[in-house]
Every structure is written in C-alpha cells, then in structure tokens.
Structure 1
Amino acid sequence: MGSLPLDAPVQPLDPEAFAGDSRAVVDFLAEYYRDVDKYPVRAADLEPGRLRKLLPDSAPEHGEPLEDVLEDVRRDILPGLTHWQSPSFFAYFPMNASTAGFAGEMLSVGLNVVPFLWAASPAAAELEGVVVDWMGRLLGLPSRLLFSGGGGGVLQGSTCEAVVCTLAAARDRALAKLGHEAIMKLVVYTSDQTHATFQKGARLVGIPPSNFRVIPTSAASGYGLTADAVRAAVDRDVASGLVPLYLCATVGTTGLGAVDPVRELGEEARRHGMWLHVDAAYAGSAAICPEFQGYLDGAELADSVSMNPHKWFLTNMDCCCLWVASPRDLTSALSTDPEYLKNVGTNGTGKPAAIDYKDWQISLSRRFRAIKLWVVLRRYGAVGLRAHIRRHVTAAKWFERAVAADELFEVVVPRRFSLVCFRLRERFVGDDAVDDVNRELLAAVNESGRAFMTHFVVDGKFVIRLAIGGASTELRHVMDVWELLQAKAEEVLQRYQL
C-alpha cells in the first residue's frame, strides 16, 4: 500500500481497502496482545510533552500508507501508554477487553448507525431494549426496573452520564411539585466513600454545593453508609426547611469496595420521597453470580440502578447499563421534540410505542452499543461470564490470605469482590513513617514496570489497592505481584533501617 497519487479522489469505504486495512489493524492488535505482558505496565516516560516533540507540528498534506501509520503507533504511541490490558494491571478498576467485545465493537463502528430515534435505526433501538432486560435478569434485578415490568434501561457511555441523567430526573420530579424556585432547597446525600462524580453531577444539574451532604462512614460498618446516619442528616435538613432529593447507595465503592445496605437506605429514601440510585459500576458485574446477588437486596426500592459492563464484564469501552423504574421521569427531564426529529408514520397505529433513546441521555447522537454487549452475551454466555468473575475473586482471596499471613503486612478492610486493600504494618515502620513507607513501596512497585497499582486514603491512612479483574489476569500474575511486593518492601524497609 503506497501513498495516494496527488490528484486521486478519496474512496473512504472502498471494500477492498476496508478489508485490507482492517486485517492489518487486527494483525497489529493480535501481535500487541501476544506481547502486552512484555511492556512496562505503566508508561516508563512520564514527562509531559514527550509525544509533541516526536510528532510533526501539522497534519500531512497527502495520505500515507497504513503500514507507516502503524509503525509510528508501535514506535511512538505504545511506549507512552499505560497498558490497561496487561495481566499485571491492578490499578483503579479493570477496564475489560475481549475478543467478543472487540468483535461487537467492530460491528458497532463498522455499521456506524446512530440510533437516537427508533426510526433512525429500529433494530438498533429494539436490540438495546432486549439487551438491557437480559442484563437486568442476569443481575437478579426486580421486574419493575425492566421493560417487561414497566421500567426500562438504556446504555450510557459512563456512570458519570447515568448520574447526571438520574439527578436531572429527580430534580424535575421534585420541582414539578414544589416550583422551580425550590431548587435552592434540594439536597443530595452520599457517603464519604461515594464516587466524586456525584458531586460533579449535582453541580451540573444546579444543586447548590452547600446542599451536597457527604456523610461519614466508619470501620464499624465496613465503611458502608448506614441508614441511621442518613436519617440524622435528613432530619436536620428537614428541620431547616430543606428538601431531601436524592440518595446514592453504592455496591462496591471505588476506594475500598465497601457495600451500602440497599434495602435500609431504600426504606429511608421512601420515608422522604427521595430518589434512590444504586451505583454498582464495578461490582454489579459480580451479581450475575448467585452468591453475590444478595448485595443488591432491596433494589426493588430503587428508582435507578447502574453498572458498567466495560469494567468487569468483558465488554470493551464504553458501555454503562442504567435501569429506571419510571422511564417517564427520565424522559420528562431529558426529552426534546423538534419537528425534524419527529417519527413520521410511527404514531397512532395502535402498535407498541417506539423508544427514542435520545430522550434517555444527555446527548442527541449515540453509538450502537447494544450490539457489542449482545455479542459478548452471545459468545460467552452466563456460564462463561460467571467463570470470568469467579476466577478473579478466587485470586483475590488467595492474595488476601497471603497478605494476612505475612507479619509485615496487614489487610486494611476485609476483601470485597476482587479488590484487596492492604499496607505495611505500623509496628514494623512506626506511626510517623508508615504512610511515607507505603507510598515508597507503591512507587517502587509501579516504577519497576512489572505491575501497576493505585492507592486510597481512609481514616488518614495511606492504603494500597490491588484490583484484580483484567481479561488476561490469572492467579500466577497475582502470585508474581505478591513476590514483587515482598521484595520491594525489603528494599524500602532497609532504607529506613527497619
């Protein structure tokens, strides 16, 4: 493949070129996945501006061969990436990729339809409704959150989008009764373990920052939000003339994997007519296994539930399932109906109402995400996906036992799902130095290039997180990182002469 002649017209969807370029990219990625464990997990060169120095100041005037582009990716891009699909990536939460996810993504971007209206791509819109009901049943969600039970679901790009949408729905539902001027009285409640995206979302929908309540948690409740703490905060606000609006219950918090008691919080939300959202972005995937469905007990009290198949469900970015008990509440807050978007010929026919997903999200345009999740479900089935989840939970249990058996280390909170939070013990380091030593340990592990982990701070303590969930991560990789941690701990402690 050479460069195009200077006067050659561009043929962007020539079938032969499409096939050839696609094969070249697939071969490139296959080679990458064969060798991904050979790259430093985190980019070795973290100096900002590196890539700008390597690339030209302006785009090329004439097209270039794809092999030249891929060679530049290999030489300039790959060394500057953090390799999220490395089997030794244990940071943040997993961001799964899979063969089925990639195949579904190829179908999505290849067909490149935009199903914002039912009429814009009927099969795409209807497949989405089918797939979110499939997912809801796999997770054991109550029927009231499914289309088959009067609720419904949509595939968002991220939890952040789902949060803004549900906050807007809750806001408008409340203001329809109170009047728009009452927006200054609305209050949102979360815990100190809740993801910060809820604070951002509350600001975006106009909730005053002074009306955002971050309720403390403690080790006594496993850092879960208690109904008593919520009740006390709500009662204080009600006594001050404020209006409780929205309560978030998290199943699998980002920092520690903590679980809030959904049923108890749901009952408290109903006491004041609050919108209850259940955020199961990471841990929701585990609920396809019967042994984990108890964590969603009480979901029938929720107004909305969300989880991210792109985290731990072998579905390539981006894909977030959002279910709502009342689609009307959501669409009332998000719908627009200009003449140029009306579905001509679909109304008044006596047929089931079409779903226009533009009214279920922030943006108008949207991707055909449903086909990606559908391919994953079809290719792996519930049995294969449960095995994927259980494999990582088993590895996390092994790691937790290894940490607990080592006198230098301690497990900070009991393991939940596949996240283990640990650190070097104070008695071997000293109270004044313990956080610094753990910071150095984490930095040493990450700088080795052999693994990548992140941290959290709870009760003033610096904690190291090991989040297991990579599509290629096996028990042997977890054993390897444990050996690496032990070796680096010895090096760090020697520097402190301990």
Structure 2
Amino acid sequence: MHSVNQTTDAMVRSVLAYAENRLRMTPVPLDRGTRTPQELYRELDGLIRDQARQPDEVLGVYSSVIAPSIISADSPRFLGFIPAAPTKASLLFDMVVSSASIQGISWLEASGAIAAENTALRVIADEAGMPGSAGGCFVSGGSAGNLSALAVARETGKRRLGDALAGRRPRVVVGEDAHSSIVNTLRLLEMDALVVRTPDHRVTADAIRAGIDGLDISDVVAVVCTSGTTNAGIIDDLAGVGALAREHGWWFHVDGAYGGSGVFAPSLKAKYAGLELADSFILDPHKWLFAPFDCCALLYREPALAKATHTQDASYLDVIHTGADRETGEWNPTDYAYHLTRRARGLPLWFSLAVHGIDAYREAIEVAVDLARQTARLIDRTPQLELIREPDLGVVLFRRIGWSPADYDAWAQALHTEGIAFIPPTKWEGETVGRFAFLHPHTPMWLVQEILDRTA
C-alpha cells in the first residue's frame, strides 16, 4: 500500500487523468445531485471487502455513482447557500498539499508551509486594516473560526472581570441575524447570548445601546458583528459597534466568513469601515477568495491572547514550543485555535494569490457584486417580482407576488431537475422568498434572466 508498483503506477495515472479532466471542465456542470439513500447504499454495499479490488473498478464506482450524486458547488449555475469557485491554481496546489502529507502543526516540522500561510494571512490582515502585530492561522471553516475566537474572548473577559463574574455565565451581545454557528458556539462555551433587536436586520451601535438600556451588563465579555450575513449579505455597523466595544472593554469579534472578502473590492471598501477595530476576525477563503474547501482565515489583533488560551501542553509537545514566539519569528498554528492536528490548508490560497495577483481577486469579487446589482434592477423591471432589499454584497432576495412556499419549492426543483440552476428558496421575516447567492465570476446574466423568466 505504501510503495510504487505496477498496480500503484496504473492507479496514479488513472486518478491523475480523472483529476485533470475535472480541472479542465469550463464551465463546471451543475449535476443533478441527490439520490435516495436506498439507491446509493445498494450500489456501494460490499465494495469494501477483505480482498483487494482493481483501482479502476473503484474509481469507476466513484465516477458513475458518487460524483453524479453530488451537486457541484463550483458550478456557475450553483446559486444557493454560499457557492464555491476555487481557481484552477488553488485546486492544483491542493493536490500538491495532499500528496505531500504536510502536518501543519508547528514551525518545527512545517516551517516553510507556515511561513507561506502567514504571508497569505498578512495580505488579509492588511486589507482589513489590522495592525502589523495581527496574526493567526487557517482553520477548517467559519464555525471553527468563531469557536476559536470566542473562546479567547471568554478567557480574556474572565481575566478582565475577575471576581465580578464569580458564579455567573459570561454573555455576548449578538444581533438577530448572527450566523447559527455563533449561537452554537456560545452554548458549547457555556456563555449566553444577549440578543439585541435589529429592526433593519443590521447590528448598529444605536441598536445595542437601546437593547442594553437599563440592563445589568457587567457580565458581558464580547460583542459579535457580521460583515456579510449568510442569508442576505448585510454588513453590520462595524465602526459604531467597534467604538462601543472599546468604550465598554468588550472583545470585538467580526464574523466575515462569507462577506469579509468583500473588503478587497474597491466599490465595497467603505462598507467595512471599523473592521480595523476587531479583536478577532474570520474570513472563509473557500468562499469569496476562491480557494478549495475547507479553509477559514482566523486573525487576532493580539495573537498572544489566543496563544494563552489555545496552547496545548504535553511532554511530547515541549519540543515544538521551544523558541516559538513573536521575537524569534517561529509560529505554531496549533497555538491559535482549538485544533492540534491540521493540514496546511492555507497553501492553495497562497499559491493562487501569488500566481494571479491580488488585483485579479479584486476584479473577480467585483463581478459578483455587479451581478447582484444588475439582478436587483432586473427584478425591479419584472412585474410579478419584488426586490426585498438592495443588495450589500452578492446576495439578492426577492419575492414572487402571489406565490406560496410550495410554489417556490416547485420552481426551484424544476430548475434543478432540468440542470438550469441550483437556487433553493429561503425565509425572510417568516416568509418564503427567492434568493440568489452570486459568487462565481462566470455566472452569466442570461442565466439570471432565464431563472427569473421561469417565475412568470
């Protein structure tokens, strides 16, 4: 299994040929996706057995059974949830990272990989306006980033409040549209959410002041803003809330998992004013920075606070901590999140950024923003449709006048079944509505027109 022989040689050729064919697809087809559990398990049952099988036989099952049952999130026709659009460069280098089995825990065994990852993190920190001292690591996704950052917020808050917090659970100020991972994280960390009402679905300093007026807030340790909500792409009042956080001594965390990358787009830059005040900030390159799954950039204003929270101590880890600090320049990603074992998931982003240049990323993000703006105007001109709100980023919400939830479901199902688009409905203030999530720079406006025509 671990040596190159005749069977392995043939397997390498077959798998690389399959990968090359997939990489050369332009555009990537949507695929029909979901099959029933009964069908899939019947076709996969018994494939794994005591004896070996020919690699081409197993690869054939993947290509004929598994791959067609997966909706391609990197297709320009994938317009639901938050899509993906990894560059060819990042996908190719992801193969390099996997084939090299890089254990990206510490400087000791992966110094080159970590240095490269850190240069990519520096690009993001500079764009966000964070200080030169900022640093962090790459984790698996926004949920892992939020969990790691808010764990540091909790521990830092506990040290600040001291005995005043004795016997009480820390609280964190959040808006009504905070991502589901925030609420789940608070539960896991044994903190409570102080939810403030946001009439316009946007967390502002004024909304927080109104929400905490007359309340005992001596147990609050942090406040969370979102730079691009998943459902509607709304950017909170980062400047106002950041200043309020400083006023109260709260940790200021910005969840930019989806929309944080918009800070790279010149037309959006002003919307991110105040991001530079964040104590922690996350951004998913596997979304709007066109990297492969899974990749979240996690940054701290003062990384030493994260290191104090997350460093794992064990006799077998002593060797990696020798000399690993800001002064020496050595850096252990494992010290800045809840993880220990990690792949060097930031390297595909690093490679693609270096190959294409940052300006290419700015331009690609602007394409998605422009798609959203054009779609909003198209909806305005379509009699049976109503635009719910002007898009901040790449998400467009609309209603089809007179439709029930079943109508939206039937519309979306027909579009998917026919291979036109994957565009599931969502809910807005309890009402089922339509939702475009633009991310892929190759999504054409004629496709948008076709989708909207199907609402007639």
TM-score greater than 0.5 by the shorter chain: yes
AA aligned opposite 2:140 = G
Residues 1:28 and 2:6 aligned together: no
Residues 1:151 and 2:134 aligned together: yes
- 1:348 offset after TM fit, Å? 10
Q: Is the 8 A contact 2:396 2:437 kept in 1?
A: yes
Counterpart of 2:211? 233
| Consecutive unaligned residues in structure 1, runs of 5 or more | 1-9, 491-498
Counterpart of 2:341? 365
After TM superposition, list the pairs within 5 Å mapping 1:272-287 onto structure 2. Answer: 272-287=248-263
Larger Rg: 1
After TM superposition, list the pairs within 5 Å mapping 1:47-196 onto structure 2. Answer: 47-57=36-46, 59-137=48-126, 140-144=127-131, 149-179=132-162, 182=166, 184-196=168-180
Residues 1:14 and 2:1 aligned together: no
AA aligned opposite 1:186 = P
Query: What secondary structure does 2:109 align onto?
Result: coil
CA distance in structure 2 between the partners assigned to 1:39 and 1:314 by the alignment: 18
Counterpart of 2:316? 340
- 1:158 offset after TM fit, Å? 0.7
Counterpart of 1:495? none
- 1:418 offset after TM fit, Å? 1.8
Counterpart of 1:485? 452
Counterpart of 2:432? 462
> What is the RMSD of the two structures over their aligned residues, measured on CA atoms?
2.6
Choose which of 197, 200, 211 in structure 2 pairs with 1:216: 197
Query: What secondary structure does 1:224 align onto?
Result: coil
Q: Is the 8 A contact 1:399 1:479 kept in 2?
A: no
CA distance in structure 1 between the partners assigned to 2:166 and 2:397 by the alignment: 42
CA distance in structure 2 between the partners assigned to 1:19 and 1:133 by the alignment: 40
Change (3 A) 1:358 1:484: closer
CA distance in structure 2 between the partners assigned to 1:165 and 1:263 by the alignment: 23
Counterpart of 1:315? 291
CA distance in structure 1 between the partners assigned to 2:267 and 2:81 by the alignment: 24
- 1:456 offset after TM fit, Å? 2.5
AA aligned opposite 2:97 = S
Q: Is the 8 A contact 2:76 2:440 kept in 1?
A: yes
AA aligned opposite 2:144 = E
CA distance in structure 1 between the partners assigned to 2:325 and 2:238 by the alignment: 41
Counterpart of 2:378? 402
Deviations 1:394-450 (A, max 9, x none): 22222222111010111111022222111212xxx2xxx544433443343334332
CA distance in structure 1 between the partners assigned to 2:394 and 2:324 by the alignment: 51
- 1:26 offset after TM fit, Å? 3.3
CA distance in structure 2 between the partners assigned to 1:485 and 1:95 by the alignment: 22
Change (3 A) 1:290 1:113: same
CA distance in structure 2 between the partners assigned to 1:340 and 1:276 by the alignment: 35
Counterpart of 2:443? 474
Aligned residues: 455
Which range moves more in the overlay, 405-414 or 297-306? 297-306
CA distance in structure 1 between the partners assigned to 2:64 and 2:155 by the alignment: 51
Q: Is the 8 A contact 1:186 1:242 kept in 2?
A: no
AA aligned opposite 1:218 = P
CA distance in structure 2 between the partners assigned to 1:303 and 1:335 by the alignment: 18
Change (3 A) 1:381 1:15: farther
Query: What secondary structure does 2:396 align onto?
Result: strand
Counterpart of 1:411? 387
Query: What secondary structure does 1:407 align onto?
Result: coil
- 1:230 offset after TM fit, Å? 0.9
- 1:20 offset after TM fit, Å? 4.9
Q: Is the 8 A contact 2:93 2:347 kept in 1?
A: yes
- 1:205 offset after TM fit, Å? 1.0
Q: Is the 8 A contact 1:175 1:182 kept in 2?
A: no
Which range moves more in the overlay, 317-326 or 446-455? 446-455
AA aligned opposite 1:227 = A
CA distance in structure 2 between the partners assigned to 1:133 and 1:97 by the alignment: 20
AA aligned opposite 2:419 = G
Q: Is the 8 A contact 2:228 2:259 kept in 1?
A: yes
Q: Is the 8 A contact 1:441 1:485 kept in 2?
A: no
CA distance in structure 2 between the partners assigned to 1:357 and 1:334 by the alignment: 10
CA distance in structure 1 between the partners assigned to 2:385 and 2:321 by the alignment: 67
Deviations 1:324-369 (A, max 9, x none): 1111211111112212112379449996152222111112101112
| Consecutive unaligned residues in structure 2, runs of 5 or more | none
Change (3 A) 1:49 1:414: same
Counterpart of 1:204? 188
Change (3 A) 1:184 1:445: farther
Q: Is the 8 A contact 1:91 1:466 kept in 2?
A: yes
- 1:35 offset after TM fit, Å? 6.1
Q: Tell me the TM-score normalized by structure 1.
A: 0.84
Query: What secondary structure does 1:285 align onto?
Result: helix
Q: Is the 8 A contact 1:159 1:320 kept in 2?
A: yes
- 1:383 offset after TM fit, Å? 2.1
CA distance in structure 1 between the partners assigned to 2:31 and 2:434 by the alignment: 17
- 1:269 offset after TM fit, Å? 1.3
CA distance in structure 1 between the partners assigned to 2:152 and 2:262 by the alignment: 28
CA distance in structure 2 between the partners assigned to 1:394 and 1:343 by the alignment: 51
Change (3 A) 1:18 1:421: farther
AA aligned opposite 1:169 = V
Identity over aligned residues, as a percent? 24
Counterpart of 1:423? 399
Which range moves more in the overlay, 249-258 or 117-126? 117-126
CA distance in structure 2 between the partners assigned to 1:401 and 1:129 by the alignment: 41
CA distance in structure 2 between the partners assigned to 1:250 and 1:282 by the alignment: 9
CA distance in structure 2 between the partners assigned to 1:190 and 1:112 by the alignment: 39
Deviations 1:85-142 (A, max 9, x none): 22211011122222111122112111112121211222122222222112322xx222
Residues 1:325 and 2:307 aligned together: no
CA distance in structure 2 between the partners assigned to 1:183 and 1:445 by the alignment: 54
